[in-house]
Every structure is written in C-alpha cells, then in structure tokens.
Amino acid sequence: MEWKASHILVKDRGLAERLLKEIKGGARFDAVAREHSTCPSKNKGGDLGWFGPGQMVKEFEVATAKMGVGSVSAIVRTQFGFHIIKKTGQR
C-alpha cells in the first residue's frame, strides 16, 4: 500500500490549531502550506508525493493510513512538530 499526501508542519500547537480552523473554514490547503509550513515541501503546497510503509515517521504514517482520500487530519504531533495532513491518494 502507498499513500499520497500533503502536509503543513509548524512548531507551535496553537498555530496548528488556528491553521486547521482556517482550512476547515474553506481556506485552500496548498495556500496555507505555502504561507505557514516550515517543511521544504511548502514550495509545492505541502505535497509530499507517494510514500509507503516505513518512509515517514510512525505517527504520520499511522494517521495517513487511517484517513480517507481527500480528508484532512486532526493535528498530528511528531518529533518534527505539529502536522496537518491532507491525504490525496492511495494505491
């Protein structure tokens, strides 16, 4: 199984909560990622491309695997910070 996802990574939980609220309120995920994410993927609107088991940190992988395609996650904490994940594909 492989998944395709985009994400927004920030260091502050409060900021992550505010951004998630904006996205749920209709803000474009890719635009929010470009403006706020600290990950280099922000230049591609947060797009991480395809990845399989063991390629991402466990918390990120588990959250993505459970999501439906097109859905946006709750805040996921990893050693890198706080992620908001949008699952864009599964194969």
Quick: pLDDT tens for 15-64.
Answer: 999 999 999 999 999 999 999 999 999 999 999 999 999 999 999 999 99
Structure tokens at 35: 């403006």
Q: Is residue 84 a contact partner of residue 7, using CB atoms and an 8 Å limit?
A: yes
Q: Is 43 helix (H, G, I), strand (E, B) or coil?
A: helix
- The per-residue pLDDT for 31 is 98
Domain ranges, residue 44: 3-90
Tokens of 65: 């695997």
CATH assignment at residue 60:
3.10.50.40
Tokens describing residue 40:
């280099």
Instruction: Quote the pLDDT of residue 26.
Output: 97
pLDDT at 53: 97
Q: Total domain count for the chain?
A: 1
Query: What pLDDT, on a 0 to 100 scale, did the predictor assign at position 66?
Result: 97
